[in-house]
Amino acid sequence: MMAEFGLAALWLAAALAGLQLIAGSLALTSRGQGLAGMVRPVAVVQGALALVAFVVLVVLFCQTDLSVKLVAMNSHSAKPLIYKLAGAWGNHEGSMLLWVTVMGLAGGFVALVEKRLPEPTMLATLAGQAFVSLGFYAFLLVSSNPFERLDPPAAEGQGLNPLLQDMGLAFHPPTLYLGYVGLSVAFSFAIGALITREVGPAFARAMRPWVMGAWIFLTIGITAGSYWAYYELGWGGWWFWDPVENASLMPWLAATALLHSASVLASRNALRAWTVMLGVVAFSMSMVGTFLVRSGILTSVHAFAVDPERGTFILALLAINIGGALTLFALRAATVTEGERFALVSREGALVFNNVMLSAILGIVLFGTLYPLVAEAMGAKVSVGPPYFNPMSAIFFVPMLIVLAVGPLLRWRRDSFARVRLGLLLPALLVVAVAIGLAIVANVGVLPFLGLALAAGLAVASLLPLRGRRLTRTPLAVWGMVVAHFGVAVALFGMASESAFSVEKLVAARVGDTTQAGPWQVKLERIDPVAGPNWTALEAKMTARYGQGAPVEVHPQSRFFWAPPQQTTESALVTRWNGQLYAVLGEEAGGGRWQLRLWWKPFVTFIWYGGLLIALGGLLALLGRTASDIRRFVARGKIAERRMEQGR
Amino acid sequence: MKRIVLILAMLLAFPAFAQDSLPPAPYAYRQLDDPEQEAKAQELMETLRCLKCQSQSIADSDAPMAGDMRSQVRMRIAAGEEPAAIRAWLVERYGDYVSYAPRVTSLTWPLFAVPLFLVTLAAVLLRRRFARASK
């Protein structure tokens, strides 16, 4: 019964999305204006019904209802509750249901609260949102029904990939999806503004919180995903330019550019066409990412769906949405004027420069990710990996970092370098000092070298916008900018340091042996068998000493899951302020020896601290903007009230 | 001379490992003694694809084939071969797919043309934008 109830809710939500699209479109014409009143309520109910369907699926997973095919395929009665929950969205159908649910809720929320835009623009926006949703509803109902029954019910579920049975991964996909779907709202706003030719500051202000929110979730999602890959895959790597990683990076790059250009549009009424374009591109990248991951076109660790039918469906959705949006953009491009002008040396000028750089990096990542597929279609297999992406993106990343240090110090519209030159002396000197120091002391590669030097300069330069301000009276949005830019420096430092100074030790150790890895002395004490709820493992008991410090216990495991049968390594980490010791227990090497892999990674944690700082900066800016939006909203309400009273 | 001794030692050592049921290649999980050579090998291994895995380099994989390839790379580096030569040898054996560093060929030139194009495009865009603005 339960599953049928969920399916019915899903069909109803889809029908309401259709209604929302039709009513919203007709209401824009002169004859259909009577329909305008129903669009917002329909959007709210549509979101609520999608939520009902999703909750039903979660309940089915909690109960491990094995008469539902999706549950039988992806769950197991012996799995801990949290992973039963995560199982609901840790598969293709469930994750697409999560997608439409978040999209429906976001649309409903916009319909409820957004009152600043002209009503026709809102109607067009909600119609656009319904159009995109409808495609995904069709996808779910036609080719990926999550509520399909299994007759007869399975005796036991097939379990969840052990690699995915991890807290980090339970919440990683939903975080990214919140980001992707937040960008769908920005996309709808862009469509709405294009249709009604209302591309201006009001549009940017309405769109900005959604871009901000989406960007925060994407930042957290990518940071968490990178940390997950780092500790779960057991080889100490944190980013591999894997197509699936790139799929999440591309929307982030576009959203970063969009975020900045929307700010310019909101406060300076400049960059109109560019902002709309980025709004379209950002969500397009989300869909491209979803297509890459969901279609199974690239088979990699994360891509657990292999089914060409679905791929074709998503590809069609992609073509319709992106093609439609670009056509609309082309039709309206003549009427969307550029907006206010500004000089090269100005805050806007710096932002434009960095937007172009971000877009170029996006172009490289997109092309490098797709090219192996193109080559395969032409009959040759090539690999494109870090040796390509690192230097190619650095071509644009390095100038961007330099402008990032200068830009926030410049005034709007027109400024001169002479005015900010003095302030930038300190960071510039720091870059030179670090560069000279590194050249003398250490032998590091070109990119880590540049990374370390630039990170030092940027760390100081990013704080300069606070100079001369009363810190307690500095707006939250400025704090947000400073924190996020400082986060870039922190993350960059972590990446460069990990790449330049990591120490790796592979040994076949006997019990009692001590191994030196960088400043650590690691002693293998014992190997014990241990058991968990759905696995057994061999666990190494090791003690690690940093220099002459007190010994710390380290317990890496080699785990054997039985449902489905698979072996994984559970790395063990010792975190210090200045880096991490990373220990992995490998196979038995014969003669009572065990393979141990040890890494000392100086300041590696700064990569993720930096990522979190960037997200925190976004959050501060979002809070600051929202607070002032609410104040303005309340003030406007009061003025309106007073007018009403005076009118009487 | 040292190299020959090393290779001989490896050959002699091999039967000893072979007594295990599934002998991993000698240098699959063993580093070279010379840290400089090991660093060279490591750098190369990170840019070679594990053919039996999904999106992993041979430096990041527990697959036996990746272990064999690591061992090959380390032994060849120890024997004094240049990383570029080892990469070329592997590409000849397994095809371009094995190397994460694409070469410029009739098939892959767009990979290198696109960044060049993007640089030009960025320069033109910025120039046009600000040439107009400064008028």
**Mind listing the pLDDT tens digit for each residue in A245-291?**
899 999 999 999 999 999 999 988 888 989 999 999 999 999 998 88
Whether the pLDDT of residue A12 is over 80: the answer is: yes
Of the pLDDT bands very low, low, confident and very high (cuts 50, 70, 90), residue B120 is very high
> SS3 string of chain B?
CHHHHHHHHHHHHHHHHHCCCCCCCCCCCCCCCCHHHHHHHHHHHCCEECCCCCCCEHHHCCCHHHHHHHHHHHHHHHCCCCHHHHHHHHHHHHCHHHECCCCCCCCCHHHHHHHHHHHHHHHHHHHHHHHHHHC
Please state the rounded mean pLDDT for residues A461-488.
92
**Nearest neighbour of B118 by CB, restricted to A243, A349, A363:** A363
Quickly state the pLDDT bin for B130 (edges 50, 70, 90).
Answer: confident
Which of A297, A347, A362, A383 best probes binding to B when mutated, by most B CB atoms within 10 angstroms? Answer: A383
The string of pLDDT tens digits covering residues A306-333 is 456 777 888 888 899 999 999 999 888 7
Q: What angle do CA B58, B59, B62 make, to 5 degrees?
A: 70
* Alpha-carbon gap, residue B28 to A26, rounded angstroms: 67
Q: Determine the residue type at A153.
A: P
Output the pLDDT for position A55.
95
State the pLDDT at residue B135: 47
Please state whether the predicted TM-score (pTM) of the whole model is above 0.95: no
CA-closest candidate to residue A195, choices A323, A316, A317, A336: A336
Please tell me whether the peptide bond between A209 and the residue prior to it is cis, using omega within 30 degrees of 0: no
Section A522-535 average pLDDT = 90
Cα gap A132→A190, rounded to integer Å = 13
> Where does the pLDDT of residue B21 fall: very low under 50, low under 70, confident under 90, or very high at 90 and above?
very low
A96 near A139, Cβ under 8 Å?
yes
Q: How far is B14 from chain A (nearest CA, A)?
A: 14
Whether residue B74 sits in one domain with residue B118: no
Spans of all domains in chain A? 1-160, 503-602
CA A582, distance to chain mean position in Å, is 26
Whether B115 and A395 lie within 8 Å, measured CB to CB: yes
Report the gap between the CA of B27 and the closest CA in chain A (Å): 10
Structure tokens at B128: 């046009």
In chain A, % of residues over pLDDT 90: 56
With a cut of 60, say whether residue B4 has pLDDT above it.
no
Mean pLDDT of A496-500: 93
Q: Residue A566 corresponds to which tokens in the numbers above?
A: 């698979």
Strands (E), A571-645: 572-576, 579-590, 593-602
Give the range among A148-157, A436-445, A505-514, A620-629 with minimum mean pLDDT. A148-157
What's the pLDDT score for residue A305? Answer: 42
**pLDDT at residue A564 is higher than 80:** no
Gap between the Cα atoms of A88 and A147, Å rounded:
11
Q: How far is CA A427 from CA A398, A408, A416, A458, in A?
A: 15, 14, 18, 7
* Residue A632 confidence (pLDDT): 82
Whether residues B115 and B130 share a domain: the answer is yes
Question: Closest residue of B to A300, CA-based?
Answer: B54
Judged by CB atoms closer than 8 Å, whether chains meet at A382 and B107 is answered as yes
User: Are B35 and B91 in the same domain?
Assistant: yes
Nearest Cα residue in chain B from A444: B39
Same domain? For B31 and B47 the reply is: yes
Which run of H or E residues covers position A565? strand A565-570
Task: Quote the DSSP letter at residue A154.
Answer: P
Tokens for A71? 């549950």
Q: Are residues B125 and B64 in the same domain?
A: no
Q: A277 CA to chain B: closest CA distance, Å?
A: 15
Question: Cβ neighbours of residue A38 under 8 Å, at least 6 residues apart?
Answer: A19, A23
> B58 vs chain A: nearest CA distance in angstroms?
11
Closest CA to A500 of A455, A556, A549, A554: A455
Most confident of A96-110, A141-155, B60-74: A96-110
Question: Taken in order B63, B65, B68, B72, is the CA torsion positive or negative?
Answer: negative
Instruction: Please report the pLDDT score of residue B13 as a whole number.
Output: 45
Residues B65 and B131 in one domain: no
Q: Which residues of A touch B31 (CB under 8 A)?
A: 504-506
pLDDT beyond 80 at A471 = yes
Q: Which member of B60, B95, B133 has the closest CB to residue A381?
A: B95
Domain of B54, CATH number, reads 1.10.8.640
Q: How confident is residue A17, by pLDDT bands cut at 50, 70 and 90?
A: very high
Task: Please report, for residues A274, A339, A458, A556, the alpha-carbon distance to residue A454 in angstroms, rounded to integers and kept in the order given.
Answer: 29, 34, 6, 36
- Res A602: pLDDT: 95
Q: Are residues B93 and B133 in the same domain?
A: no
pLDDT band at B133 (very low <50, low <70, confident <90, very high): low
Element (H or E) spanning A498, and its range? Answer: helix A476-501
Look at residue A381 in the predicted model and tell me its pLDDT.
84
Q: Is the pLDDT of residue B45 over 80?
A: yes
Q: Residue A301 has what pLDDT?
A: 38
Q: At A544, which helix (H) or strand (E)? A: strand A535-546
**Is residue A555 helix, strand or coil?**
coil
Mean pLDDT throughout A97-106?
93
Nearest-by-Cβ selection for A388 from B102, B107, B119: B102
Do B87 and B126 have their domain in common?
no
Across all residues in chain B, what is the average pLDDT? 81
What pLDDT score does A280 carry?
94
Handedness of CA A509, A512, A518, A520 (dihedral sign): positive
B50 and B90 part of one domain: yes
Nearest CB to B54 within list A301, A569, A586: A301
Please report how the helices A386-406 and A347-377 are oriented relative to each other, as an axis angle in degrees rounded to 10.
170
pLDDT at B11: 46
Question: B10 and B62: one domain?
Answer: yes
Note the ipTM here. 0.82
Contact A498, A635 (CB under 8 A): no
The boundaries of the domain holding residue B112 are: 103-135
Averaged pLDDT, A421-448 = 90
Higher pLDDT, A472 or A405: A405
Average pLDDT, chain A: 89
Chain A: residue nearest B31 by CA?
A: A506
Closest to A508 (Cα-Cα) out of B77, B78, B31, B63: B31
- Section A511-529 average pLDDT: 92
The pLDDT value recorded for residue A45 is 96
* Chain B positions touching chain A (beta carbons under 8 Å): 17, 19-20, 24, 29-31, 42, 46-47, 49, 54-57, 59-62, 95-102, 107-108, 110-111, 114-115, 118-119, 121-122, 125-126, 129-130, 132-134
Give the pLDDT confidence score for residue A622 in this predicted structure. 94
Instruction: Please state, in angstroms and rounded to a whole number, the distance separating the CA atoms of residues A492 and A497.
Output: 8
CA neighbor of A256 nearest in space, from A16, A549, A615 = A615
CA-based nearest distance B49→chain A, Å: 8
Question: Assign residue A413 a region: left if phi > 0, alpha if psi is -120 to 50, beta otherwise?
Answer: left
Domain count, chain B: 2
Is there a single domain that holds both residue B73 and residue B133? Answer: no
Q: Which of A16, A26, A19, A11 is nearest to A56 (CA)?
A: A11
- The 10 Å Cβ neighbour count of residue A339 is 20
- Residue B17 and residue B79 in one domain: yes
Structure tokens at A31: 């004859």
